[in-house]
Chains A and B, each alone.
Chain A
Amino acid sequence: MTTTSLTTSRGAGRAGDKVFSAATLAAGCLILAVLFGVAIFLVIQAFPALVASPDKIQGGEGFFAYIWPIVIGTLIAAVIALVIATPVAIGVALFISHFAPRKLASGLGYVIDLLAAIPSVVYGAWGAAFLAKEISPAYNWLANNLGWLPIFQGPASATGKTILTAGIVLSVMVLPIITSLSREIFLQTPKLHEEAALALGATRWEMIRMAVLPFGRPGIISAVMLGLGRALGETMAVALVLSSGVLTASLIQSGNQTIAAEIALNFPEASGLKVNTLIAAGLVLFVITLGVNMIARWIISRHKEFSGAN
C-alpha cells in the first residue's frame, strides 16, 4: 500500500516538475520568439514599401532616397550626443567611484540615476520650451564668430530648435547609461593594482591613468556603444525639440531629421503605403541599433570572461 501511495505521489510530483520546467522553458523561448517576431513582422509590413515603384514613395525617388538623409540625420544627432556625454559621463563615473567620500558615493550615484528616470517626453518638453530659448544667443555667437566652419554656418535658427539642441538633450539622456556602466567597471578595478600604483608614489590621477582606465577601457567602449544605441533610437526628445527639414550640414539651422522622430511625427496620420514606408524606416533603425547593441554586448561578455580569470 505504502509503495503505491509513494509511487502515485512521485508521479504527481514528477508531473509538477515537468509542467513547471516546461513553463519556464516556454517563457524563455517566447522571449527569443518575440525578438525574431519583431524582425519578421517588421520585414513583412515593410516589404510593400521596399518593392513599390519609386514614384509612389514620399519624395518620389524611391525608398533609398527617402531613407538616407534621415539615416545621416540620426547619426549626426547621436554623434553630437556622444561627443558631449562621453567625457562628462566618464568624469562623473570616476567622481563616484574614486573621488567622492565613500559614504556619499551611493547616494550620488542614485542622484545621477534620477536622470534616467525622467520620461523622455519631459526631456523633449524641457528642450523645446527652455533649452532652445536659452541657447539661441549662443548659436548667434557661433554663427557670427565661427561661421566659416560649415557646421556653424549662419544664419542661426531664431528659435534654437536645431539638431545641435536635440543632440544636447540626447546627451543628457544617454549620460546616466554611460555613467552607470563605466562606474561598475571602475569599481571592479583590482584593488591591488590601485594600491601598487599608489605605493610607488603615483598621484591619484596617475593611479587612475595607469590602473583604472586601462582596466576599464573595454567597459567604457561598450558603455559608449550602449549609449549610442539609446541615442539612435530616442524619439520624443528629437520630435519635440527639432524643427525638422532637409539634410543640412549646419548644426545651428533648422533642418535635418532622425528616423525615430520621422516615424513618430507621421505614423499617427499615415495610411496606405506611407505606413509601410515608415515601418520600413523602423526596420532600418532596428537593424542599426541591433548591430550596435550586439557589438557592445559582445565586448562586455568577452571582457567578463577575461576579468573572471583575475
Chain B
Amino acid sequence: MTSTLTPVKKRSALTKGQLPKWAPYLVLGIAVVLGAAVLALIGFNALGWGIVSAVFFAIGLVGWSAAVEGSRRAKDKLASCLVVGSFLIALLPLFSVIWTVLVNGLPGLTDPGFLSTSMNGVTGAYDNKSVEEGAPVVGGIFHALIGTLLITVMATVISVPVGLLASVYLVEYGNDRPLARAITFFVDVMTGIPSIVAGLFAAAFFFAVVGPGTKTGAVAAVALSVLMIPVVVRSSEEMLKIVPNELREAAYALGVRKWRTILKVVIPTAISGIASGVTLAIARVIGETAPILVTAGFATSINYNVFGGWMASLPTFIYTQILNPTSPSNPDPSSQRAWGAALVLIILVMLLNLGARLVARMFAPKTGR
C-alpha cells in the first residue's frame, strides 16, 4: 500500500547518463575542504589554497564525468575548467598590481606637501634624517605633475589635428586608393613601434636639427606624438566610418560643399567617439616612461618651459626614485615617494579611461526620437 503512495522518482531517459545539476557545486565544496586540509599540512596561504582547490575541483569533476558521462563529456568539462581557470589566472596580476600600488602608495600620497612640493633641494641628508630620527619625508611630485601635464598637452596638440585630418582623408577622400591603403597599413605598423624607439627618433631628430644633447619637454612631446598619432587615426577612422551615408547625401543634396559637409555634419556626428578615442590615446601616452627618459632627461625642480631645460614627469620620477634613490644608504623614503607617484599615475590613467567612457555616452548623437 505505502509503496504506491510514495511516487518513485524516475530520471527521464533524456537526462540519463548525465551528471546532476548540483554536481559542480558538490565537487567544489569537497575540493575547497580538501584543499584547506592539504594546505594545513604544508603551511597555509590563500593563493596556494585557491590553486590546490582548483586542481582538486578539475580532477574531481572531470573524473566523475568520465565515469558517468563518457570521455567526450569529460573532455568538454576539462576544457571548461581550463578556460575558466585561465581567466582567473589573468585576474591575479591585475588585483596584485592594484593592491601593491594601493598599499605602498597611500603613505606617500597622504604625506603633507607630496602633491604641492618639488624635489628641488631635497638631498640624501633629509632622507637619512627621516629614517634615523623619524622626521617626516620631504619632497614631492609637483614638478613631475607639471612636466607630465605640459608634455602630454603638447603631444595632444600635435597629434589630434594630424590624426583627425589623416582619418578624414582615409574615410572621405581616400576611396581605397593605393596611398590610402599604404597609410592604413603603416598606421597599423606604427602602433607597434616600441616606445623607446619613438623616443630615440625624437632625440635623433632634434640632435640632428637643433644640436647634440638637446633634451627638452618639446622633444618628449614629439616622441609621444609618434606613439599617439596612430591611435588617434585608428579610433577616429572607425568613428567616421559609422556616420551614416544618408547624412552626407542629405547635405550634398542641399548643395553644401564637401568640406563644409565634413566640418558641419560628419565630424559633429562622430565627435563623441572621436573625443573618447583621443582620451584613451592620452591615457596610453601619459604612462610612457622610456621615450621621456631619453628625450627630456629628469629634473628635480619645477620647469614650466617646454622649449628649454630638462623636465621631470611622473613615470620618469617613479623610475629614477626606484633605480637611483635620493639617499643610496636609506632608499625607503625614495621608494615611498615612487609608490605615491605610481598611485597618482594609476588614478590619472583610470580617470582618463573612465572619462573616455563618460564622454562617449554623454556626447553620443541622439538616436531615435
Using a CB–CB cutoff of 8 Å, the interface residues on chain A facing chain B are 13-14, 16-17, 19-21, 23-32, 34-35, 37-38, 41-42, 44-45, 87-92, 94-96, 99-100, 108, 111-112, 114-115, 117-126, 128-131, 172, 175, 179, 203-206, 208, 226, 229-230, 232-236, 239-240, 260, 263-264, 267-268, 271, 275, 278-279, 282, 285-286, 289-290, 292-294, 296-297, 300-301
Contact = CB atoms under 8 A, between A and B. Distances in A.
A232 B201 contact: no
B189 A35 contact: yes
Interface stretch (B28-36, B53-61, B130-138, B180-188): B180-188
B80 A240 contact: no
B269 interface: no
Contacts of A285: 194, 196-197
Contacts of A263: 196, 200, 290, 294
Interface in B259-281: 259-260, 262-263
A25 B173 contact: yes
Given A17-B257, A204-B79, 8 more contacts: A17-B259, A27-B164, A38-B201, A44-B204, A99-B80, A111-B91, A121-B289, A230-B192
B13 interface: no
A235 B290 contact: yes
A204 B195 CA distance: 41
A24 B196 contact: no
Interface stretch (B107-115, B241-249, B338-346): B338-346
B141 interface: no
Contacts of B119: none
Interface in B134-188: 161-166, 168-170, 172-174, 179-180, 182-183, 185-188
A260 B97 contact: no
- Most-contacted residue by chain B among A208, A236, A239 (CB, 10 A): A236
A297 B189 CA distance: 7
Given A31-B233, A95-B84, A236-B289, A41 B315 contact: no
B51 interface: no
Contact of A31 (B183, B212, B315, B335): B183
- Most-contacted residue by chain B among A119, A203, A236 (CB, 10 A): A119
Interface of B: 72-73, 75-76, 78-80, 82-87, 89-91, 93-94, 96-98, 100-101, 104, 161-166, 168-170, 172-174, 179-180, 182-183, 185-190, 192-198, 200-201, 203-205, 207-208, 212-213, 226, 229-230, 233, 257-260, 262-263, 283, 286-290, 293-294, 297-298, 315, 318-319, 322-323, 335, 338-339, 342, 345-346, 349-350, 353
Nearest to B185: A297
A31 B190 contact: yes
B80 A204 contact: yes
B313 to A, nearest CB: 10
B259 A34 contact: no
Contacts of A239: 319, 323
23 contacts: A27-B162, A27-B165, A30-B166, A34-B190, A35-B190, A38-B197, A38-B198, A42-B201, A42-B204, A88-B90, A99-B84, A111-B91, A115-B90, A119-B315, A121-B287, A121-B315, A203-B76, A239-B323, A263-B200, A263-B294, A264-B289, A268-B297, A290-B193
A183 B84 CA distance: 15
B213 to A, nearest CB: 8
A260 B208 contact: no
Given A24-B165, A118-B349, A122-B287, A289 B194 contact: yes
Contact of B75 (A44, A205, A297): A205
Given A28-B170, A35-B186, A92-B87, A267 B293 contact: yes
Given A16-B260, A95-B83, A130-B96, A264 B349 contact: no
A234 B257 CA distance: 46
Contact of B183 (A32, A119, A129, A232): A32
Given A42-B201, A45-B204, A125-B322, A31 B166 contact: yes
